[in-house]
Amino acid sequence: MNFTGIITDWYTKNKRDLPWRKTNKPYNIWLSEIILQQTQIKQGLPYYEVFVKKFPTVKHLALAKEEEVLKLWQGLGYYSRARNMHKTAKFVWNDLNGIFPLDYKSLLTLKGVGEYTASAIASICFNEPKAVVDGNVYRVLSRFFGIDTPINSTEGLKTFKLLAQSLINNDHPGIYNQALMEFGALQCKPQNPDCSVCPLNSACAALKNNQVKELPVKLKKTKIQIRHFNYLVFISSNRQSVFEKRTGNGIWQNLYQFPLIESLHVLNEKDITKHEVFATHVQNNAFEISLYNEKPIIHKLTHRHLHTHFWIIETNQLSKNAVSLEDILKYPTPQLISNFLDSFNLK
């Protein structure tokens, strides 16, 4: 049996029972693929269940408010996926009569659908022989064929895409694509794969050359920056606070948070109370300020560590943008804020 045959055979014996494998509806496959971008199945699975239940069809999703979509997406990260997904749902519903594009090329025009996702949907739903190339595929192919070209170099991208496409099963491309990814996730794992039980071990170049640990090769790593976040948790005597929508193009776009003072170094109480963000909400009012966490809460993102302090500011009245404390929990927020709200008793 050849590579493709062995992978497919392994898949029929070892595949996990996952909900999106019970359907070929483009809406469901699309939804699962967006959720699973840069996300492990264990993390994404409960979100998929919630979304298909809340939005059974593209129409349901299209008619939802973005804020509702973001609230359900809360905690999953890479929130542009949720914003683009909602945008695409509205586009499909309003401009395409609720019918998803039927081939790879037209799928690519959808916001949030790149080469990987278009290949996945086209192969799984429409039997179009387009090979997916994701992190699993890079790993399996680089090891089996012994390719040390960096997977994130221009040459590597091209090489692996061509190789993957040359291996595709033209009769069952969707099954084969999923098989290769499942094989990478369960058998040809990043760390400590058990090559003794691998059905490809007799022909694997990396195993033969003792390079399993070294492959795939990936260029550089992003340097982590430290930022200091100071959140102003206002609490007025009539149980209101200030919760604002993040605008602009940066992190957590369209999610909500307390007023934020960002800085390059640690701030003390005086720095906070003299800051214009503070003054915007507390003018000539009496206030009482206290630091909620003496030690910074370090929220770790891929390329930033956010050293965070929450300042509790009790005041008799708030000047603007006040919302009731109970309502705060209804807004979509970053996990950093959500964690704080869990630990901070609002009563």
The pair of structure tokens assigned to 213 is 């640990």
Beta bridge partners of 312: 233, 290
Distance CA 139, CA 213 (A): 11
Residue closer to DNA by CB (options 128, 182) is 182
Question: Which range, of 52-60, 96-104, 130-138, 276-284, touches DNA by CB under 7 A?
Answer: 130-138
What is residue 302's DSSP assignment? S
Q: According to the binding rule CB under 7 A, does residue 79 interact with DNA?
A: yes
Choices 57-65, 235-243, 308-316, 331-339; region in contact with DNA by CB under 7 A = 331-339
- Per CB under 7 A, the list member of 6, 41, 64, 312 interacting with DNA is 41
d(CA 92, CA 328): 32
Whose CA is closest to 221, among 140, 152, 161, 307?
152
Q: Is 146 in the site for DNA (CB under 7 A)?
A: no
Which one among 105, 213, 239, 303 touches DNA, defined by CB under 7 A?
A: 303
State yes or no: residue 72 binds DNA (CB under 7 A). Answer: no
Alpha-carbon distance of 179 to 143, in angstroms, equals: 16
> How many residues lie near DNA (CB under 7 A)?
62
Query: What residues does 242 pair with on adjacent strands?
Result: 322
Told to check if 192 binds DNA by CB under 7 A, we report: yes
**In Å, how far from its chain's centre is CA 141?**
25
User: Among all residues, which ones are annotated catalytic?
Assistant: 33
Q: How many whole angstroms separate alpha carbon 283 and alpha carbon 122?
A: 58
Between residues 139 and 281, which has the closer beta carbon with respect to DNA?
Answer: 139
Question: Per rule CB under 7 A, is residue 196 in the interface with DNA?
Answer: no
Q: Which is nearer to DNA, 177 or 240 (CB)?
A: 177
With contacts defined by CB under 7 A, name the span among 50-58, 165-173, 182-190, 198-206 that binds DNA: 182-190
Using CB under 7 A as the binding rule, whether residue 111 contacts DNA is answered as yes
CB 10 within 8 A of CB 183: yes
Q: Binders of DNA among 263-282, rule CB under 7 A?
A: none
| Contacts of 195 by beta carbon, 8 Å cutoff, 6+ apart | 201, 204, 207, 212
Q: With respect to DNA, which residue has the nearer C-beta, 185 or 207?
A: 185
Query: CA of 297: how far to CAs of 231, 309, 310, in Å?
Result: 11, 7, 9
The stretch among 49-57, 64-72, 200-208, 217-225 that binds DNA (CB under 7 A) is 217-225
- Identify whether 332 is preceded by a cis peptide bond (ω within 30 of 0): no
φ, ψ at 67 (rounded to 5°): -60, -35
CB nearer to DNA: pick between 174 and 259: 174
Give the interface with DNA as residue ranges (CB under 7 A). 18, 20-21, 32-33, 36-43, 75-80, 84, 110-118, 134-136, 138-139, 153-154, 178, 181-182, 184-185, 190-192, 216, 218, 221-222, 249-253, 299-304, 334-336
